[in-house]
Amino acid sequence: MGNKSNYKFLLSDLSALKGVGSKTVKILKKKNINNIFDLLWKLPKSYTDRSLSSEIKDLRIGENQTVTVIPQKYYFPRIRNLPNRVSCRDNSGELDCIFFNSYEGYIKKILPLGKEITISGKIGRFKNKYQITNPKYISEDSSLIKQKHNTYSLTEGISEKIYNNIISQIIEKLPILDEWHSKDILKNFDNICWNESIKELHKPENIGNFEKNFYQRLAFDEIFSTFLVNSEIRKKIKKNKKKKKIINFEKQRFLIKKLDFLLTNDQLKSLNEINNDLTSSSKMFRLLQGDVGSGKTIVSLLSAYNTVNSGFQVAIMAPTEILARQHFNLAKKIFPKDICIGFISGKSIYKDKINILNNLTNHKIDLIFGTHAIFQKKVNFKKLGLIIIDEQHKFGVSQRKKLSDKGGNDCDVLLMTATPIPRTLTMTIYGDMDLSIINEKPSLRKPIKTYSKLENKIDEVIKFIKKEISLDNQVFWVCPLIEESKKIDHSSAIKKFEYLKKIFPNQVSLLHGKTTQEEKEQILNNFLDNRFKILVSTTIIEVGIDFPNANVIIIENANKFGLSQLHQLRGRVGRGKKDSTCILMFKSNLSENAKKRINILKKNNDGFIISEEDMKIRGFGDILGFKQSGIKNFKLADPIHNNDLFLLAEKEIKRIEKSKEDISKFKPLIKLYDRADIINDIV
């Protein structure tokens, strides 16, 4: 198709292809294949070599083979449901072609009597005679069959022959695109162009050749397109000039002095980075990333305090009401009384809500805490200067962009997450933001002792819990499923609750996904107030609520969770000054990977190291929360195996940013890799 830069063909509807009707389009769309470009990434998993032809006498039963025969006679039974049969032969023997659901006319057309025909398919044997049932390939031109044919993970309703024809058509019509990369970048991939790389990717002999230049080039394109969009969003946000905030460092020092703990070096460094952003004329769009219990909240509250003292309002949003209220209570405790602090949620009484809305509009409230209710249309601020969002991995790039726009020009944005992830993933998911990391744990935080126990030793665990409860401590007991499942042998939360309440009457409560939001808030508040000792729960207790009195967590079927998720769950305890314990329970028949995960967790309390190991074991798509975050998994690139490509892309983006290079040449790349919806106004 030698038409340069004609990338639009690749974004065409599937019906533009010959032989692709509405039925096939519907089947492909169910597999999330919406255009021609999408089809290029459904790669062959293996191939069948039909290039060698056999004589009938040498055929091997159960294998896919190619044979050239002459059809001799048709057998079209009149009895319904019986197959049609064509008797064929060559010089060495006889073979039957069997057809189910094929019409006489079609069979006569593809297998004319007396003509030499090449057929290919799986060889069977019936009544001492070779047969091929519903042959995959039939042609008078043997060259069309005697070649290597790719095998795909097919969608029901599409044959391998049709699928191969579709892919061959695309490869044949593949446009030659203008090169978007510099010569220096192309040197890394032996100067192979995009068009050639795609062709190589689909050759049967190249299946699984991840180290080859064509594969590396295409993986780099994916990574680079993501980084490029992130860079453009960063630039666009920085272009928004805002009113600088003037920080009263004397007041900041006084507040820090009043705290009953010392800030770590990482906390002070992060606070300094945020302060620099607040006092800059460019808008802040920063992520504060830290491990469970590293002290992000106090850093965010100090940032809010500095902003309020600059004459602006601040909005702090958390994913749940209980977490928002916890932040609200901490601010009330540490901030001077002259700062007016409010709280709003979906459950706020109408009269109170109207009052709060008026006070925000009139700047009678300096600092507001709440859930997503804060960002409803009817909520208006007089002078919003900072938005802080806790547990932000629930937001994708598009949502973050909209949030930044909503705040207005003078409003800075600080997002927080307690999900430590490897650097390659951070570069990918949060590349549109500046980053502050808190690695160091506060000195008062004691490491959580982690043990593993076979589930048949539950009596020992119960004995341990009785001792902890006698010391007035509280316990989380986490189960993977809500109800008993016949298919999967996991412990259920309901069954465990029934078991534990017999041993600990009036001391146990239950929380699971079917609990209403209102009931959940009530149960968690009661647990926080120490009204019962054991909370049996599914994994919905993950997000960062502080229960200082809970110092034991039991996790059943620990082998069924990922490392990052186990680490997050473990982080629900160890938030007070007492020694804390995590007990991982499992069955005896553990896989090697499950043993590896449990041992990593027992030896390590560092979330960043744990997430790195998790990614090596499970793959980056499975790391906690990112399946739900709106991030699209790469089709070829892998943050572990292609670490060098991520670093190369980062270096190239920095070069482009520094030289202020025109990015219009990257338009096809951005459009093809489906990033354009985010920055349509940029390219």
DSSP state for residue 67 in the 8-state scheme = E
CA dist 245 and 224 (Å) reads 35
- Over residues 591-597, the mean pLDDT reads 79
Query: Quick one: how far is CA 462 from the chain centroid?
Result: 37
The reported pLDDT for the residue numbered 255 is 94
Give the pLDDT band of residue 486 (cuts 50, 70, 90). very low
Question: Residue 681 domain-assigned?
Answer: no
E-strand spans in 184-321? 285-290, 313-317
In angstroms, what CA-CA distances link 619 with 418, 425, 564, 638?
Answer: 20, 11, 12, 8
The answer on 395 and 256 residing in a single domain is: yes
The answer on 291 and 365 residing in a single domain is: yes
Question: Residue 431 domain-assigned?
Answer: yes
The answer on 459 and 432 residing in a single domain is: no
The answer on 530 and 462 residing in a single domain is: yes
pLDDT digits (tens, 9 = 90+) for 496-510: 889 999 999 999 999
Query: How deeply is 630 buried, as exposed, middle or buried, from its count of CB atoms within 10 A (0-12, 13-18, 19+)?
Result: middle
The answer on 400 and 512 residing in a single domain is: no
Cβ neighbours around 310 below 10 Å, total? 18
Sheet holding 341-344, edge to edge: 341-344, 367-370, 313-317, 384-389, 412-417, 285-290, 434-438
**Greater confidence, 117 or 140?**
117
Residue ending a domain, among 389, 410, 438, is: 438
Give the pLDDT band of residue 149 (cuts 50, 70, 90). low
Q: What is the DSSP string of 448-481?
A: PEEEEEEGGGHHHHHHHHHHHHHTT-EEEEE-SB
Which residues make beta-bridge pairs with 583?
A: 451, 554
Give the pLDDT band of residue 481 (cuts 50, 70, 90). low
CA dist 66 and 52 (Å) reads 7
The answer on 462 and 410 residing in a single domain is: no
Supply the CATH number for residue 461's domain. 3.40.50.300
Give the pLDDT band of residue 152 (cuts 50, 70, 90). low
The answer on 490 and 374 residing in a single domain is: no
Domain count within the chain: 3
DSSP element (H, E) containing 569: helix 563-570
Nearest Cα to Cα of residue 193 among 2, 428, 424:
2
Share of the chain above pLDDT 70, in %: 85
Residue ending a domain, among 604, 634, 649, is: 604
CA dist 231 and 431 (Å) reads 7
The answer on 490 and 457 residing in a single domain is: yes
The answer on 505 and 362 residing in a single domain is: no
The answer on 469 and 416 residing in a single domain is: no
> Mean pLDDT of all residues in the chain?
83
Q: Where are the alpha helices (DSSP H) in 340-485?
A: 350-361, 397-406, 423-429, 458-470
The reported pLDDT for the residue numbered 552 is 94
CA dist 532 and 136 (Å) reads 67
Structure token pair of residue 639: 């943050």
Residue-number span of the structural domain to which 434 is assigned: 249-438
The answer on 392 and 460 residing in a single domain is: no
Which residues, other chains included, contact 186 with Cβ-Cβ below 8 Å and sequence gap of 6+? Answer: 179, 192
Cβ neighbours around 62 below 10 Å, total? 9
Question: Residue 46 domain-assigned?
Answer: no
**How much is the pTM?**
0.69
The reported pLDDT for the residue numbered 631 is 45
Question: Residue 548 domain-assigned?
Answer: yes
pLDDT digits (tens, 9 = 90+) for 344-383: 877 667 777 888 889 999 999 999 998 877 877 788 889 9
The answer on 411 and 266 residing in a single domain is: yes
Question: Residue 235 domain-assigned?
Answer: no
Supply the CATH number for residue 88's domain. 2.40.50.140
Question: Residue 433 domain-assigned?
Answer: yes
Residue ending a domain, among 412, 438, 464, is: 438
Question: Residue 120 domain-assigned?
Answer: yes
